[in-house]
Amino acid sequence: MKIGTDAMLMGSLAQPVDAQNILDIGTGTGVLALMMAQQCPHAIIDAVEPDSIMAVRAAENFENSTWDYRLTLYNEPLQEYTNLGIIHYEYILCNPPYFEPSPTTRPDRINARSTVTLTFDELMAYSEQLLDAQGKMGVIVPEGEYEKLLSAAQKVGLHPVRQVLISSFENSPVIRRVTEFAKKAPDEVEQDSLFIYNEDKTWSEKYTVLTAEFHNLDKEA
């Protein structure tokens, strides 16, 4: 599976600031974990991936990167994660599964991109347990799935603190939403927006600047 725009957006828009411990839930081939390792030179990054085939590829990408000594892969589901109750993370990020599979959905896509293996309720409940008291969790979902994600977050006491609304073009509908959650509700949710393409289908200036330092990841993951 190639690096998708969602992963590039989530990794580029994440604001881990001075986080020392970071968790990537459902790392796939390891893209978000690698982006965090590049962005946070002093952080230790753990990555959870239940699919054994994906985990092998992620492990290879970690080993071939310059940050392998700060990256640890756990080939297990979040529901059985080794560090539950042991480590609290200052930043958690996830490009989660978000659609119900159809009978024609490819088997590899079912696990990687569907809600079969990890529901929003499970994602937010386990993340709340793993999140530091002052930590934040970043998630990217299609706009149509946001209310489900928000409902799952509210059930466990996680509150939106920052959001970026993403559209394909400047005046087109919002297609993705990146939200950062925290245990403490803010006085006001920080809001921003981003469109990916100019009208001629070239990348917009904001998207180009945002993702520029990460484009070399295409060669690693």
Distance CA 121, CA 96 (A): 12
Tell me: pLDDT of 211 over 80.
yes
Give me 81's structure tokens: 């994660």
The whole model's pTM is what? 0.89
Distance CA 141, CA 70 (A): 27
Give me 164's structure tokens: 């970026």
Task: Name the band, by pLDDT with cuts 50, 70 and 90, for residue 114.
Answer: very low
Burial of 14 (C-beta count, 10 Å sphere; 0-12/13-18/19+)? buried
Task: Name the band, by pLDDT with cuts 50, 70 and 90, for residue 107.
Answer: low
Tell me: pLDDT of 219 over 50.
no
Task: Name the band, by pLDDT with cuts 50, 70 and 90, for residue 125.
Answer: very high
Spatial contact of 46 and 81, defined as CB atoms under 8 Å apart = no
Nearest to 20 by CA among 41, 35, 3, 1: 41
Whole-number average pLDDT of the chain: 90
pLDDT digits (tens, 9 = 90+) for 49-96: 999 999 999 999 999 999 999 999 999 999 999 999 999 999 999 998
Tell me: pLDDT of 18 over 70.
yes
Nearest to 207 by CA among 4, 7, 12: 12
Question: Quick one: what percent of the chain has pLDDT higher than 70?
Answer: 87
